[in-house]
A and B are shown apart, each in its own frame.
Chain A
Amino acid sequence: MEVRRPTIEDWDNPGDIVTINIGPSHPAMHGTLRVIAQTDGETIVSAEPEIGYLHRGVEKLGEHLTYHQFIPLTDRLNYCSAITNNVSYEMAVEKLMGIKIPEKAEVIRMIMMELARIADHIVCIGILGVDLGAFTPFFYLFIQREEIYEIFEWYNGARLTNTFGRIGGVEADLPEDFEERWKKLVPNLRKAIDETDKLLTHNRIWMDRTIGVTPFFPEDALNWGFTGPCLRACGVKRDLRKDEPYCFYDQVDFEIPVGKHGDVFDRYIVRMIEMEESIKIIDQAIKIYKEFPPDAPLMAKVPKIIKPPVGEVYHAIEAPNGELGFWVKSDGSDKPYRIKIRPPCYMVYQAFPELVQGEMIADLIACLSSLNIIAGELDR
């Protein structure tokens, strides 16, 4: 699809440009994002985002806490799917120490990460609907998210910020009735996704508001450092679960949905299909899990006080938003020397001015919602 982005020279009367400040306290700004938009009527001439309103100093705080004490802080990064952040950090430290965790722990991690992926996509699609005026899918989907919270609580004790896993494995086995709970949840979850699909996907208003809104070329997306559903919607088939497999992802069968134009509709469809694929992965993973004996080890032999050798590693996994990576440097003591978090939505949001130039203000809101910018991860 040919897209030519208008530039400021196209405007006859630059004196008519109005500066609108959207946020940081605004219903459509997810938390604390601010966009300073310059518009000519309703068309956007330039939109500059300003971030940092939720910068809590997590990386500096990590230098004063031990390796174990940092795990709860990683929860608060992408709070919609806290488990993926925990596992990503733990895998980075395990790589630094050179320990291999037991296989039963890997399967449990995989199951919980896919549940977190479903939960994150539910939030994204629900809020995308709310921002565009479609309230109903939000209510239907959030009931299923409450059921997923019940599973998390039954396992871990916490609904949202579960400090899941330990460096060296996981803390506990899955509860005995996990499979029954999952089997009860799946038809309801599929029904909710189906209803959302029927309400939205072929809806005239939804299609008019999302198809063709902020498309993006795949070469531009790769140049800007996009990863995750936003990149897959542009047509590039990249997923760290297939390209650099970890846990048991190379032994389960799943598809990677790829879009065509990279617009809001494609990002929405990619997330809907990914939810369905996650359900398939969990079904297969439970079969793998049942092959392990009940008393198989869950933790590798890790000392009580962790002192990794001097060195630095980088490890990334496929979080629901894209490539979430941790670069950890150790100086031999029990506290990390430097932790750098590579947030997926950081790279996506810096392309925002290029994405929305030439669109209308309502399209800006739709685009921002579809990128799934989580301020906790963006600002750390």
Chain B
Amino acid sequence: MGLKEDVQNTLGELALDFLECQGDLSVTVPKDKIVDALTKLRDDLGFDFLSDVFGVDNSAFYEKLAKAKAKKKKGEEDKKEEEPQGPPPPRFEVIYLLLSLETNRRLAVKVKVPEDDLVVDSVTSLWRAADWPEREVFDMFGIKFKGHHNLKRLLMWDEFPAHPLRKDYPLEGQGEERIMEYNDND
């Protein structure tokens, strides 16, 4: 596709991986180079509109893949080579949806965030539209954004103890309640 070649040429080494699905293209870039990558895409390729920023918790996805692989392996017991167990894949990913206003092309830029290093550079210096979406990713997943001017919880109340959209948080919650003390004598 023309878009894939353009992105490959613009990003060069920064483009780690591509994923195409039903006409949508997404490219993975390293976590610490996200601001550079997005700046290149904005200035050289014309992706000047940020549609959305959000996070995904891939732990259940990888578990399912691992189970499917294990099942397949069981069925092929005559294979003698053992694949070495690599490090577990990074649990979270943060996805940036870009749009080019002139050519109306869309691109998704992904960043993989491992569980032991939950910090990503903030892109609010490039687009102010990333302000609240990054706060929401912090609220829902716990990923911090370096350089964000006001990283507080957005949708849940400030003292909420957990991060709801993670896969290990139950749907019906853990019984948290918001207790507010009003001081009427002030």
Contacts and interface: CB of A to CB of B under 8 A. Distances in A.
Chain B interface mostly helix, strand, loop or mixed?
mixed
A333 B63 CA distance: 13
Contact of A313 (B21, B61, B156, B165): B21
Interface stretch (B4-12, B71-79, B113-121, B124-132): B124-132
A58 to B, nearest CB: 11
A223 interface: yes
Contact of A60 (B56, B97, B101, B165): B165
Contacts of B95: 327
Contacts of A307: none
Interface residues of A, number: 39
B24 interface: yes
A379 B21 contact: no
A316 B52 CA distance: 12
B156 A337 contact: no
Given A96-B22, A223-B128, A350-B131, A337 B106 contact: no
B52 A327 contact: yes
Contacts, number: 87
Interface stretch (A145-153, A338-346, A359-367): A338-346
A327 to B, nearest CB: 7
B50 interface: yes
A337 B56 CA distance: 9
B71 to A, nearest CB: 13
A59 B165 contact: yes
B60 interface: yes
Interface in A308-347: 311-314, 316, 323, 325, 327, 329, 331-333, 337-338, 340, 342, 346-347
Contact of A222 (B21, B101, B108, B164): B101
A243 interface: yes
B54 interface: yes
B106 to A, nearest CB: 7
A55 interface: yes
A379 B155 contact: yes
Contacts of A288: none
Interface residue range, chain B: 35 or more
A225 B21 contact: no
Contacts of A57: 164, 171
A60 B164 contact: yes
Contacts of A316: 51
B157 A52 contact: yes
Contacts of A61: 171
Contacts of B61: 331, 337
Interface in A281-311: 311
A198 to B, nearest CB: 37
A179 interface: no
A244 interface: yes
Interface of B: 19, 21-24, 26, 48-52, 54, 56-57, 60-61, 64, 95, 97, 101, 104, 106, 108, 127-129, 131-133, 153-157, 164-165, 171
Given A96-B22, A340-B52, A350-B129, 13 more contacts: A95-B22, A95-B23, A222-B48, A225-B50, A238-B101, A311-B22, A312-B19, A313-B21, A327-B97, A338-B57, A346-B132, A347-B129, A351-B128
The 8 closest A-B pairs by CB, nearest first: A225-B129, A311-B21, A52-B155, A55-B155, A350-B132, A342-B52, A340-B54, A313-B24
10 contacts: A55-B156, A57-B164, A223-B129, A224-B129, A225-B50, A225-B127, A225-B129, A311-B21, A338-B56, A340-B52
